[in-house]
């Protein structure tokens, strides 16, 4: 086999890996209806993630805070900022805010937040690294199977297929 042929095969293999690997870009944050910043809420004011994502401890989905929840504080806090005015407008019209999904998982997996958060005691930032410093949330962690398995093995949690693929 010539060196060229080997190089071609290697190049093809690399290409195949690139194609098959999860292709999420971490560069461009999606356009959100309101420029919500995790940094101000989590890092600066030290709010617990679960203060807003209330279902994380008891449901499969962590949940998005209701408009009423945002307004609990923003009735009086920073009411003159343009982004808060947008929020107030949603509240006034009693319309939900159409947030754009940031974190995605493959559809064939089942990820129950409450198992990790309540029983596994896994900190939120383990799976959502850096989100506490984002001005606009970005998904930085790819949820590849190897990454999940590493964590499951390290913690001695079941790696039975049907634990996650149901």
Partner 1 sequence: MLNRRGFLKIGGATAFAALFGGCERLPKTLVPFVIPPENYALGESLWYASVCRQCPAGCGIVVRNSEGRAKKIEGNPLHPVNRGKLCARGQAGLQALYHPERLGTPLKLDGPRGSGKFREIPWEEALRLLMTGLSGVRAEAPTALLMLTDPMRGHRNLVSARFMKAFGSPHRVAWDPFGQDAHLSANEAVYGVRDLPEHDLAGTRYLLSFSGDFLETGVSPVHFGHAYGRMRAARPTVRGKFVHFGPRLSMTAANADAFLPVAPGTEGYAALGIAHVMVREKLTPAAAAAGGLWNAGLKEFTPQAAEEKTGVSAADIEAVAREFGANQPGLAMAGDAAAACTNGVFNLSAVGLLNLLAGNVGKPGGISFPDRLAAFASFGAEAKLLLPAAESGYPAVRDAVERMGKGKFRMALLSGATNPAFTLPPSLKFEEALLKVPTIVSFASFLDETTSLSDLVLPTPTYLEEWGDDLPPAGHGGEAITLGQPVVTPFRDTRSMPDVLIAAAKELGGPAAAALPWGSFRECLEKAYAGRGIDLEEAHKNGGIFSGKAGATRPAPKAGSPALPKAAEAAFAGDPARYPLVLHVYPSSALSDGRGANLPWLQELPDPIATAVWRNWVEVGPKTAAALALSDGDGVTVSSPFGSLQAFVFVHPAIAEGVAAMPLGQGHSRYGKYAADRGGNPYALLPASVESATKAPARHATRVSLVKTRMKGALVRTVHPEGQWLYENIL
Can you give the binding site for partner 1, defined by CB under 8 A?
Answer: 54-55, 58-61, 63-69, 90-91, 94-101, 104, 107
What's the full length of the chain, in residues?
166
- Report the residue number, 43 or 66, with the smaller CB distance to partner 1: 66
- Residue 126 — left, alpha, or beta (φ > 0 → left; ψ -120 to 50 → alpha)? alpha
- Please give the torsion angle defined by the CA atoms of residues 59, 62, 67 and 68, in that order, rounded to the nearest 10 degrees: 50
- Report the residue number, 95 or 155, with the smaller CB distance to partner 1: 95
- Report the residue number, 43 or 109, with the smaller CB distance to partner 1: 109
Smallest gap from residue 58 Cβ to partner 1 (A): 6
Smallest gap from residue 22 Cβ to partner 1 (A): 15
Smallest gap from residue 88 Cβ to partner 1 (A): 13
CA distance linking residue 76 with residue 88, whole number of Å: 11
- Report the residue number, 29 or 63, with the smaller CB distance to partner 1: 63
* Residues near 165 by beta carbon (within 8 Å), at least 6 away in sequence: 108, 109, 110
Smallest gap from residue 102 Cβ to partner 1 (A): 9
- Report the residue number, 10 or 131, with the smaller CB distance to partner 1: 131
φ, ψ for residue 58, nearest 5 deg: -135, 5
Smallest gap from residue 117 Cβ to partner 1 (A): 13
CA distance linking residue 127 with residue 42, whole number of Å: 16
CA distance linking residue 52 with residue 134, whole number of Å: 16
């Amino acid at each position: 086999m010539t060196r060229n042929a080997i190089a071609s095969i290697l190049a093809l293999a690399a290409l195949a890996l690139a194609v098959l690997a999860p292709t999420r870009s971490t560069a461009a944050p999606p356009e959100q209806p309101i420029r919500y910043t995790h940094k101000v809420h989590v890092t600066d004011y030290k709010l617990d993630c679960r203060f807003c994502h209330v279902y994380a401890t008891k449901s499969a989905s962590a949940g998005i805070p209701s408009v009423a929840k945002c307004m609990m504080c923003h009735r009086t806090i920073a009411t003159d900022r343009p982004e808060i005015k947008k929020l107030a407008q949603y509240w006034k019209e009693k319309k939900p805010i159409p947030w754009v999904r940031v974190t995605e998982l493959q559809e064939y997996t089942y990820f129950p937040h409450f198992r990790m958060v309540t029983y596994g005691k896994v900190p939120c930032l383990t799976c959502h690294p850096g989100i506490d410093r984002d001005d606009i949330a970005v998904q930085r962690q790819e949820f590849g199977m190897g990454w999940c398995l590493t964590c499951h093995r390290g913690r001695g949690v079941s790696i039975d297929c049907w634990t996650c693929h149901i």
